[in-house]
Structure 1
Amino acid sequence: MNNRSARLERKFFAAGISVLSLISVTSASIASPVKARVTIKGESVGLEDSKKVYLQRYYNKMFFVIDSATVKNGKFVFAKELEIPELYGVTTDTTLISPLYVFVDSKNELTVHLDTARGGRNSAVKGSAANDLYKQYQQNSRNFNIEEFIKKQPSSIVSAFVLYRYFSPNLSAEEVVRYTDLLDKSLEQTQYVKLLRDLPAALRTTEIGQQAPDFTLPDPSGKQVKLSDNFGKYLLVDFWAAWCGPCRRENPNVVRLHNKYKEKGFGVFGVSLDSKKDAWVKAIAKDELNWPQVSDLAFWDSAPAKLYGIRGIPGNVLLDPSGKIIARNLRGEELERKLAELFDK
């Protein structure tokens, strides 16, 4: 995810907007080190009695519902054994972007003020030092030094989350290792550190100069398509999704450059991180993406995304005709300059 996407997510957090994914999540798939009985007491503004409030858990850039509560006299309560330290979400609307973030660290009782009457702008969490630290990050995210942040708060789940969520997509393998090593050992079994520990291997096998790892996935018709069958030209392996605003804004630029250079030996191979086939197919048609498209419809569990260390989209790798990686994450003018260098000689 680029900086613009990060700002959008912070905006949605401030608004208290929410998302629901009705996918079961087992403790084995997202294991954390400690379980504790946690009580989250909530008060709502603008929410009628008998309405539902949902508790969600964050995993791999997605929120999953793990509990619900009914509003009574403007109040609700979650009392549940939770794996901590961890990021959870509280939401009333299960169709939009992001819930109110609730970092649960060492406290056994938190208070949530959920203000749906004002679009969530006055929603707040009390009793969580981690939530307070995350607010500090949000307020200073434009001029932010992740290394200094981790050094000051090495044992906070927020340090691990911010490194994983906002910085890892743009870091080299060596940087990921260096910053992750600054985190306290008490965080080693959290999902964020586990994912950060796995990321460098994928980045090293797909860095510039390496042969692109091959994979096969179905296209919209169900036909299995192999990446290496498209070698023989300069090929942009483009990771995107119909739901990704920055991807959709970049698509016209890729279409324009594809039309400009396709006769000279430039091709595009689209890999979608969608989860809904209809949305994927409609976006292909609307954006006029006239090149091979594949997807396992696994969202952030996309196998090729993991294989290539893609933690944010739009993302891409540029291959030479032999399938060797010659560039990563070129967009806008950078992509145009690189293609001009290759073809306008």
Structure 2
Amino acid sequence: MRFTGFLLLTLILVSCGAESGRFRIEGRFRNLNQGEFYVYSRDGAADGMDTIKVADGRFAYETDLERPATFVIVFPNFSEQAVFGEPGATATISGDVSNLKEMEIEGTADNELMTDLRMRINKLSPPEITAAVEEFVRENPLSSAAMYAVERYIIMKGTPDYGKAYELTALMIKANNANRRLAALNKQLKSLQAARKGGRPVDFRATDTDGKIVDRAMMDGKVNIVCLWASWNYDSQAMLRRIKGLKKKYGADMSVMSISVDAWAADCNAALERDSVDWPNICDGRMWDSPVISSLGLSTVPGNIVFDAKGKVIASNLTARELEEKTESILK
């Protein structure tokens, strides 16, 4: 009788969620009947970017998963939302598509912690957000949500606070020194602090979409721009077109390189061909985990770094208008 009861319980548990070794995202949005959005993993748990189809407001996505991982959903308005996955777990999303900031994600402790933090942040000013994230990290140093919160709200904001991010990642490492990705981020933040204090960019070397090696030494204009973009982000493509106009106007006095966070080179190449962009472009398919993006400290789409002929950083993360004004003020 005991064996029968145990077997029945096992069957019930398996039927009610994702299978062991699998992770599932499911949910329903109000005010959305048909559509699609995208999902990718920031830490390599899934290859590239997958499409999630919405039918009658409902959607589902399932993938193999052997370890806890962070997935990111990209919505049609280009906003993003992290979902924390665990083997055998199901994350359930609910909300109104007209107000994605208020969506709720349940199913694991990390998702529920992150939902609570987001709801709190929605009501805070920028300085208060940093304080709220610090408090959250100190209370939950072992949570995957803590690491994501530091990346999302302290590193990926308009003006990154590398010092505070370094302090908080160091605190998390004390609680869990076996997290290699966290250790790598902490090391990177230390380098970025030093680079920004010295006004110089970190050196980089990568292969562009034409198979050619590109590095900082090749950027020898009076003004040099590295731009971060994506084929699925309209604002970043608009910035590329703005930069293209500046390049046409100033020629050799201005050097440009772009980096795409697309999962597939074919997508970024199609966008580049459409807009006739002919400067070096990097798209290694590793998205936000690309080493060149990490080494340069780029953290937003669109994003950019501007440096002079000596390699000194002039500005970073300018709007398209600010970028044009800064370039023209130097080259006029």
Q: TM-score, normalised by structure 2?
A: 0.65
Partners of 1:212 and 1:319 within 8 A in 2: no
Partners of 1:155 and 1:184 within 8 A in 2: no
SS of equivalent residue, structure 1 residue 154: helix
Cα gap change, 1:13 to 1:88, in 2 (>3 Å): farther
1:256 maps to what in 2?
245
| Structure 1 gap segments, 5+ residues each | 1-11, 27-44, 56-64, 68-80
2:115 maps to what in 1?
135
2:13 maps to what in 1?
none
1:73 maps to what in 2?
none
Q: For the residues of structure 1 that align with 2:173 and 2:42, how far apart are their CA atoms?
A: 31
Q: How does 1:1-345 map to 2 (within 5 A)?
A: 19=38, 53-55=60-62, 65-66=63-64, 82-83=67-68, 87=70, 103=84, 113=92, 125-126=105-106, 128-139=108-119, 140-141=121-122, 143=125, 144-151=128-135, 154-156=138-140, 157=143, 158-169=145-156, 170-181=159-170, 183=172, 185-187=174-176, 189-190=178-179, 193-204=182-193, 206-207=195-196, 209-210=199-200, 212-220=202-210, 222-262=211-251, 265-344=253-332
Cα deviation, 1:11-64, whole Å, max 9, x if unaligned, reads x999896545699957xxxxxxxxxxxxxxxxxx9699xxx9544xxxxxxxxx
Partners of 2:259 and 2:282 within 8 A in 1: yes
Cα deviation, 1:88-138, whole Å, max 9, x if unaligned, reads 68x9xxx99899865479xx997755679x999898555645434323333
The structure where helix makes up a greater share of residues is 2
Amino acid of the structure 1 residue aligned with 2:322: E
SS of equivalent residue, structure 1 residue 235: strand
Partners of 2:173 and 2:182 within 8 A in 1: no
SS of equivalent residue, structure 2 residue 297: coil
Q: For the residues of structure 2 that align with 1:235 and 1:109, how far apart are their CA atoms?
A: 48
Q: For the residues of structure 1 that align with 2:176 and 2:88, how far apart are their CA atoms?
A: 21
Q: For the residues of structure 1 that align with 2:287 and 2:71, how far apart are their CA atoms?
A: 20
CA drift of 1:282 comes to 1.4
Partners of 1:13 and 1:100 within 8 A in 2: no
Cα gap change, 1:229 to 1:171, in 2 (>3 Å): closer
Stretch deviating more after TM superposition (149-158 or 121-130): 121-130
Cα gap change, 1:110 to 1:150, in 2 (>3 Å): farther
Work out the number of aligned pairs and report it: 283
Percent of aligned positions that are identical: 21
Q: For the residues of structure 2 that align with 1:100 and 1:325, how far apart are their CA atoms?
A: 31
Q: For the residues of structure 2 that align with 1:173 and 1:115, how far apart are their CA atoms?
A: 33
Partners of 2:169 and 2:182 within 8 A in 1: yes
Amino acid of the structure 2 residue aligned with 1:288: S
Q: For the residues of structure 2 that align with 1:185 and 1:232, how far apart are their CA atoms?
A: 44
CA drift of 1:162 comes to 1.2
Partners of 1:17 and 1:120 within 8 A in 2: no
Amino acid of the structure 1 residue aligned with 2:326: K
Where relative contact order (Cα < 8 A, 6+ residues apart) is larger, the structure is: 1
Q: For the residues of structure 1 that align with 2:116 and 2:160, how far apart are their CA atoms?
A: 22
Cα gap change, 1:205 to 1:314, in 2 (>3 Å): farther
Cα gap change, 1:192 to 1:134, in 2 (>3 Å): farther
CA drift of 1:215 comes to 1.5
Amino acid of the structure 2 residue aligned with 1:293: N
Cα gap change, 1:210 to 1:245, in 2 (>3 Å): same
Q: For the residues of structure 2 that align with 1:257 and 1:176, how far apart are their CA atoms?
A: 34
Amino acid of the structure 2 residue aligned with 1:174: G
